[in-house]
Amino acid sequence: MNRRLFLMGGAAAVARPAVKITSVELWPVKATERTVWLLLRLRSDAGVDGLGEASDAFGISGTTAENVVRMQMELDRQFAGLRGRSPFDVEYFRQNTTLGNLLARTVHSALEQAMWDMAGKVLDVPVYALLGGKVRDRLPVYANINRTTKPRTPAGFAATAKRAVAEGFRALKLAPWDNFVDSEAFVAQGVDCLFAVREAVGKDVKIMTDCHSFFTVERAVAVAKRLEPMGLDWYEEPVAPERTAETLAIRKGIRQEMAGGEFLFGVGGFAPLCREKAVHVIMPDVKHCGGMLEMTRIAAMAAVFGVTVAPHNPTGPVATAASVQLCAGMKNFRILELQWGEVSWRGELVRPAERFVDGTIAVPEGPGFGVTLNEALAREKRLL
């Protein structure tokens, strides 16, 4: 069925296309020693594909060759319940898959993404049209400069921030306390990194910081007070977001807005943060939160409590393309993350190439996510 017939309605639009999912492929694409993008592609008997991304499925342990084998095993397990099904059977897949850990949840989310991409391509419409339509044509994006910064010093972060701003980004994020050392000197250097970035980019660029849950409540409040003069846009996860009471105590003790929730799963995972208003911004990740349909439900729940959504997205161009479709119509959308500057060929991994203009990305009009995999480049950069 083409888009014209679908939009015209009538018998052609009533009958669901008889498309069956036939196979799945895993594409581990090595960007850097730190970063491997775990892409997957569903195939169908109609010759229509669907893309998904399952990067960062192993948390802090990272993606090794051994972990890719583990992912393939989990992918095979979950795909057994999808083989022969329609890409429109999203709710069936959601309700009939056992998800016990981060790996299982991330694989599930990636498969669900690929079902939506395939469904949009079958109907020749963007995924946002299947989710209620769009209200914006371009999305603001912030550059996460954390992984590309070397050395991780005040001067190093300042220099990286200047390069991102020169490319048009008007919002930046850094996590200067990674590789945490429990000493006041190390904590003070992280504070110095943030002030150096502010001095380098000026007062009109938004700056966020991610603490990656390294702090106690007392240290989190003390650090936030030291950072008040630089005007942070948000202060992210000083403690683990599952610790709702501690997160709320920090929020009440500081002036900056709070954000968090990058690895939480499902509406139930985000409900305590929103219900208690422990944060101003939640950060569901389409790769970990349960997929695209679950993120729409998470966002709708957050809107009830006046909480905005800035999707966590420090990964590859497929997850970005999926997130763009979700954010196009999201009522309480704030800003989207980009893992900036890791490799020069990032944008070329999909067709048409991923492009950012003045710190924004356009919502594509093509079917599905609006992109296809650049198979030649993916094969060239493949980990295994």
> Cα–Cα distance between 75 and 79 in angstroms, integer?
6
| The one catalytic residue among 108, 280, 288, 312 | 312
Which residues are within 8 A (CB) of 369 and not within 5 positions of it... i.e. 6 or more apart? 51, 116, 117, 120, 126, 127, 318, 321, 322, 324, 325
Strands 258-260 and 21-30: unpaired
| The one catalytic residue among 108, 212, 280, 288 | 212
> Cα–Cα distance between 222 and 175 in angstroms, integer?
17
> Cα–Cα distance between 360 and 369 in angstroms, integer?
17
> What DSSP letter does each residue of 2-63 carry, written as one string?
-HHHHHH-SHHHHSPP---EEEEEEEEEE-SSS-EEEEEEEEETTS--EEEE-TTTTGGG--
CB 171 within 8 A of CB 205: yes
Q: Does residue 212 have an active-site annotation?
A: yes
Q: Is the peptide bond before 151 cis (omega within 30 degrees of 0)?
A: yes
Residue type, 122: V
> Which of 225, 147, 226, 132 lies closest to 179 in space, CA to CA?
147
> Cα–Cα distance between 17 and 2 in angstroms, integer?
11
> Cα–Cα distance between 236 and 282 in angstroms, integer?
10
The CB-based long-range contact list for 213-222 (8 Å cut-off, 24+ gap) reads 213/237, 213/238, 213/239, 213/240, 213/241, 214/177, 214/180, 214/238, 215/177, 215/239, 217/246, 217/249, 217/250, 217/253, 219/187, 220/250, 220/254, 221/250, 221/253, 221/254
φ, ψ dihedrals at 185, nearest 5°: -65, -40
Q: Which DSSP helix (H) or strand (E) runs through 338?
A: strand 336-339
> Cα–Cα distance between 164 and 151 in angstroms, integer?
16
Catalytic residue set: 212, 312
